[in-house]
Structure 1
Amino acid sequence: MTIQIIKTTPFDDQKPGTSGLRKSVKQFKKPDYLQTFVQAIFNTLDNIGGSTLILGGDGRYFNREAIQIILRMAAAAGFGRVILGQGGILSTPAASNLIRKYQAAGGIILSASHNAGGPEGDFGVKFNGPNGGPAPESMTEAIFAASKQIQEYHIAPIQPIPVDKLGSYELAGMKIEVIDSVSDYLALMETIFDFNKIAALLQSGKFKMRFDAMHAVTGPYAHRILEQRLGAPVGTVIHGQPLADFGGGHPDPNQAHAKELMNLLYARNSEIDFGAASDGDGDRNMILGKRFFVTPSDSLAVLAANATLVPGYRNGIAGVARSMPTSQAPDRVAAKLGLACYETPTGWKFFGNLLDAGKITLCGEESFGIGSDHVREKDGLWAVLFWLNLLAEKQDSVENIVRSHWAEYGRNYYSRHDYEEIELQDANVLVDALLGQLPSLAGKQFGALTVDKADSFTYTDPVDGSVSKNQGIRILFADGSRIIFRLSGTGTQGATLRVYLEKYEPDASKHDQDVQEALADLLAIAQQVARIEELTGREAADVIT
């Protein structure tokens, strides 16, 4: 079969962010746009010949068309085998598991994660390396450099593959295996958690839960694992059918976007004991008790404190890591248990070296992502199963478990305020102005709070010595409170300014304050120092979590 060589011109906007390249669907559908980026990925890989590639996505709009294009390009590049999730469906943690299990050269995951989908929505392409984790900065920079020099791409002639039918196929000498998307992931979960105890809890008739798949990728996984394997009643999983536009919703598992689930758990007469949700590609999670929200930071801390109750971590954990903007709640657990603790930049790829080196077992980010060394991605369903295992062991409520944790370790009041789709120029002016203030902030007093340190966070990787600069602006106060400013790299329109607020309260008698009231003084300082309204025109955040 003759491989086609298509002449093209490079695009100047294909720089991957923290989770690959995310653009609007309209941008990805421009002639040669997807092909150019995929060719840039292949051009940076060594030893493609005969190797295995994992391929799948979250089922969003343009997923199926992109898969057929990538299959043809993989054949032209010389891959020996592609393992493809049935229907083009693979959650991000499931893809990571397959890369590791089948010793693949890597994987291409088609997702824009928690961004909206549909013809007017977003699409994304991410490459994960042989360890199963997101490409490190060195590789994403190489991909971007290659994308700017592309003059042609290579592709096999059109030969559509029936992606909905399990089986083996061939394309230009390359083997394609369409596999069940859930089976390998389910088998992995069974090695970590006590499925018998979880099943007894879910089938007891005394415990009710709801899992909101948000019409995204985890629907098939949740139906198979929760309802079929563990025996939860049919209807436990809601919005379980993956849809190309996520049913018109926003697949971001937080209080703002998972409104139906929030209403179920917060109803005055609610009979639901446990609620959870996951996002577009299945790597994020939200945990709810009855009329009780668990922050992702607290969730990571609770799991770390109770890890030995779960079979997969019964012998203890090596350490924990959190992204810099994530609250310091996990640090307090690590200190008390004598565990190593690391603070990294935002982006799951920064945990990869720590996990591969065996320095940590659990890690997480405040953006509703937690994971462990079982894969090299955050994992939404894994977190849900972990909580279910704890609930089965402790025979207690979510709220009581968290409150007991606060009583022992103290409470970190924490919130994130997102100012979305700010004009990029305005966002850059705000950040530059903040950077200019940093030298003069130390020692400055704001009411009862005194600034101890102000800086732009720099991370030196303890494994390979690489340095990552400008990872967020920090204002650290003498009492342990913090204000963090970051521009997000996951949006596709303008810029999102994220403002993180944190205040530590060791006194259990003060653990019932309203979160926003507890943090009101910090928010006022943040608005004053950054001049948010003056420079962006925004009086308040668009999303508060």
Structure 2
Amino acid sequence: MIKFGTGGWRAIIGDDFIRSNIQVLAKAMCDKMRNENVQETGMVIGYDRRFLSKEAMQWAAQVFAAEGIKTRLINYSVPTPVVMFYVMRHRMKYGMMITASHNPALYNGIKIFTEAGRDAEEEQTCQIEEYCKDIDPCEVEVMDYDRAVEEGLIEEIYPLNEYLDNIIDTINMEMIRSKRMRIALDPLYGVSGASLRTILLTARCEVDTMHENHDTLFGGHLPAPNEETLRPLQNYVTAKHFDMGVATDGDGDRLGVIDDTGQFLHPNEILLMLYYYLLKYKGWHGPAVRNIATTHMLDRLADFFGEECYEVPVGFKYISAMMQEKDAVIGGESSGGLTVRGHIHGKDGVYAASLLVEMVAVTGKKLSELLREVKELSGAAEMVEYAFRFSTEKKADIEETLMKDKLLPGFDFPVEKVSYMDGCKVYFQNGGWVIARFSGTEPLLRIFSEMPSREMAVQNVRRLEEFLKL
């Protein structure tokens, strides 16, 4: 019943995301912590604005209390990075966040964080799944919430200030103050609005915010900052002549941007510009890390500066692990998540947005100018992404064709190599590529392709679509 993907455990509300399963997962964490003899470090739990998020946090805390493990509850909705920061700053062994991130509104879920505020690695989540299998939901003990608070087993905390102060201390606020920037925010009905507005107003920016009210249906749209969902922000930036528009996903760990001309910036382009800014304008040195479905323009930019770019499977836990191993400057993914050396070990849309604003202030250049500047070094490329639903039988058929038999369609471009590190990725001699992999957060097959032109990228996707009979 409880199965972790690339971004934690996610399930449909009322189907598998129910109180008994939530409390089974909490009991599994209690058993794991006790077996590791780290129960004295306690647990911290946060929640986002999704339906049942706060209740789920409290249901989980009642189990920890019954097991004698003290739990700190962030008793108001916050971005996921706040929990990761708290685990890191307070040297805790584990933390939890009630969220399904950018999934549709009918989903909720739980992310697990480990020491130093990292996303739990696959070995850890597999262990949690095994603990869950041994637990009878009917035998899970809970303590009354108010009693647990009275006995000090549940403590309600408010750590947002220390998270925001940490970002403010690392961003060049004085330079931003000198530019009197105008910024439009769109948290997509999620949790980042107050955090971003606080940082930007402290930097004396003029800030307008849209879609900030609490709506568990996210306005009827996907709470992901992509080109489709950011059209209202795009229109707002253009009509009001803002310097930029900034958006985040439902739990605030992914970033979307509209530039000064009203154009949507692909997350690949944001990652590219921030790496360029850190190397050229701030004088940092070090490699970059990206997942297997993220732009190769980052590789070419790294090469221009004499640096390396490392490729890892999808899942930010792989990015953060490689960043630590290689002391990388930046790590990111094409879905909008990124982090920078010296910050938390996970993606953070609030911090990334703040750094982006600093970049514009320090360079004195508009986003559109910076993008042209960086692409003169990295070369231009176009990426497309398509998602396909499938039946259980069809999934097995796709796996057998691509992963077991390793069959491929006849592409129109010479193939350099094929990788099966995460899905099936075909690298072409012209520097382009196409990958097909199953989503770790939704029942979808995703096909990405990056080529010198959009038409060529779409052509690769269509070849796979026809070949797999999707």
TM-score class, shorter-chain normalisation, is: over 0.9
Is 2:127 the partner of 1:142? Answer: yes
Question: Quick one: structure 1 residues 521 and 437, their matched pair in 2 at CA, closer, same or farther if it must change by over 3 Å?
Answer: farther
Match of residue 420 from structure 2: 456
Q: Which amino acid in structure 2 is aligned with residue 200 of structure 1? A: S
Match of residue 198 from structure 1: 176
Is 2:243 the partner of 1:277? Answer: no
Correspondent of 2:64 among 61, 71, 74:
74
Structure with bigger strand share is: 1
Deviating more after overlay: 104-113 vs 430-439: 430-439
C-alpha contact (below 8 Å) 1:59/1:216 kept by paired residues:
yes
Measured after TM superposition, the shift of residue 175 of structure 1 is 4.9
Match of residue 182 from structure 2: 208
Measured after TM superposition, the shift of residue 129 of structure 1 is 0.3
- CA deviations on 1:408-439 (whole Å, 9 max, x unpaired) are 221122221222x4323323323432336646
C-alpha contact (below 8 Å) 1:216/1:242 kept by paired residues:
yes
- CA deviations on 1:119-163 (whole Å, 9 max, x unpaired) are xx11101110012011111011111111112135543422349xx
Measured after TM superposition, the shift of residue 21 of structure 1 is 0.7
Measured after TM superposition, the shift of residue 330 of structure 1 is 1.3
Q: Which amino acid in structure 2 is aligned with residue 342 of structure 1? A: Y
- CA deviations on 1:77-114 (whole Å, 9 max, x unpaired) are 3323x332232x22111111110111112111000000
C-alpha contact (below 8 Å) 1:93/1:376 kept by paired residues:
no
Correspondent of 2:47 among 57, 68, 71:
57
Is 2:456 the partner of 1:485? Answer: no
SS at match of 1:250: coil
C-alpha contact (below 8 Å) 1:156/1:172 kept by paired residues:
no
The whole-number CA distance in structure 1 between the counterparts of 2:104 and 2:320 is 27
- CA deviations on 1:447-495 (whole Å, 9 max, x unpaired) are 4x212222312xxxxxxxxxxxxx121111111111111110112xxx2
C-alpha contact (below 8 Å) 2:104/2:223 kept by paired residues:
yes
The whole-number CA distance in structure 2 between the counterparts of 1:77 and 1:318 is 45
Is 2:271 the partner of 1:300? Answer: yes
Q: Which amino acid in structure 2 is aligned with residue 85 of structure 1? A: I
The whole-number CA distance in structure 2 between the counterparts of 1:29 and 1:389 is 40
Is 2:72 the partner of 1:83? Answer: yes
Q: Which amino acid in structure 2 is aligned with residue 86 of structure 1? A: N
The whole-number CA distance in structure 1 between the counterparts of 2:456 and 2:323 is 37
Which structure 2 segments of 5+ residues have no match?
none
The whole-number CA distance in structure 2 between the counterparts of 1:486 and 1:440 is 14
SS at match of 1:150: coil
C-alpha contact (below 8 Å) 1:309/1:393 kept by paired residues:
no
Q: Which amino acid in structure 2 is aligned with residue 370 of structure 1? A: L
Q: Which amino acid in structure 2 is aligned with residue 214 of structure 1? A: L
Match of residue 461 from structure 1: none
Correspondent of 2:357 among 382, 388, 392:
388
Match of residue 462 from structure 2: 527
Q: Which amino acid in structure 2 is aligned with residue 452 of structure 1? A: E
C-alpha contact (below 8 Å) 2:434/2:447 kept by paired residues:
yes
Match of residue 225 from structure 1: 199
The whole-number CA distance in structure 1 between the counterparts of 2:149 and 2:199 is 31
Measured after TM superposition, the shift of residue 384 of structure 1 is 1.1
- CA deviations on 1:50-84 (whole Å, 9 max, x unpaired) are 2132210112110121121122112223323x332
Measured after TM superposition, the shift of residue 351 of structure 1 is 2.0
% identical equivalent positions: 23
> Which TM-score applies when normalising by structure 1?
0.80
Q: Which amino acid in structure 2 is aligned with residue 211 of structure 1? A: L
Correspondent of 2:329 among 361, 364, 376:
361
Match of residue 186 from structure 1: 164
- CA deviations on 1:332-367 (whole Å, 9 max, x unpaired) are 122122223210000011123223445213100001
Q: Which amino acid in structure 2 is aligned with residue 130 of structure 1? A: E
Question: Quick one: structure 1 residues 96 and 425, their matched pair in 2 at CA, closer, same or farther if it must change by over 3 Å?
Answer: same
C-alpha contact (below 8 Å) 2:32/2:131 kept by paired residues:
yes
Match of residue 447 from structure 2: 499
Matching of residues 403-442 of structure 1 within 5 Å: 403-419=372-388, 421-435=389-403, 438=406
Deviating more after overlay: 473-482 vs 29-38: 29-38
Matching of residues 240-279 of structure 1 within 5 Å: 240-265=212-237, 267=238, 271-279=241-249
C-alpha contact (below 8 Å) 2:183/2:206 kept by paired residues:
no
C-alpha contact (below 8 Å) 1:107/1:129 kept by paired residues:
yes
C-alpha contact (below 8 Å) 1:340/1:360 kept by paired residues:
no
Measured after TM superposition, the shift of residue 317 of structure 1 is 3.8
SS at match of 1:69: helix
SS at match of 1:116: coil
The whole-number CA distance in structure 2 between the counterparts of 1:522 and 1:355 is 29
SS at match of 1:520: helix
Give the CA RMSD over aligned residues. 2.3
C-alpha contact (below 8 Å) 1:317/1:361 kept by paired residues:
yes
SS at match of 2:290: strand
SS at match of 1:283: coil
Q: Which amino acid in structure 2 is aligned with residue 70 of structure 1? A: A
C-alpha contact (below 8 Å) 2:275/2:329 kept by paired residues:
no
The whole-number CA distance in structure 2 between the counterparts of 1:528 and 1:50 is 55
Measured after TM superposition, the shift of residue 28 of structure 1 is 4.4
- CA deviations on 1:500-524 (whole Å, 9 max, x unpaired) are 11124xxxxxxxxxxxxx2223322
The whole-number CA distance in structure 2 between the counterparts of 1:319 and 1:160 is 50
The whole-number CA distance in structure 2 between the counterparts of 1:291 and 1:315 is 30
Deviating more after overlay: 321-330 vs 300-309: 300-309
> Which TM-score applies when normalising by structure 2?
0.92
SS at match of 1:21: strand
Match of residue 44 from structure 1: 32
SS at match of 1:527: helix
Q: Which amino acid in structure 2 is aligned with residue 498 of structure 1? A: R
The whole-number CA distance in structure 2 between the counterparts of 1:369 and 1:303 is 12
Deviating more after overlay: 240-249 vs 343-352: 240-249
Correspondent of 1:27 among 3, 15, 28:
15
Question: Quick one: structure 1 residues 391 and 40, their matched pair in 2 at CA, closer, same or farther if it must change by over 3 Å?
Answer: same
Q: Which amino acid in structure 1 is aligned with residue 430 of structure 2? A: D
Match of residue 464 from structure 1: none
Deviating more after overlay: 37-46 vs 424-433: 424-433
SS at match of 2:311: strand
- CA deviations on 1:291-310 (whole Å, 9 max, x unpaired) are 32222122212111111577
Which structure 1 segments of 5+ residues have no match?
1-12, 162-168, 458-470, 505-517, 537-545
C-alpha contact (below 8 Å) 2:48/2:190 kept by paired residues:
yes
C-alpha contact (below 8 Å) 2:48/2:98 kept by paired residues:
yes
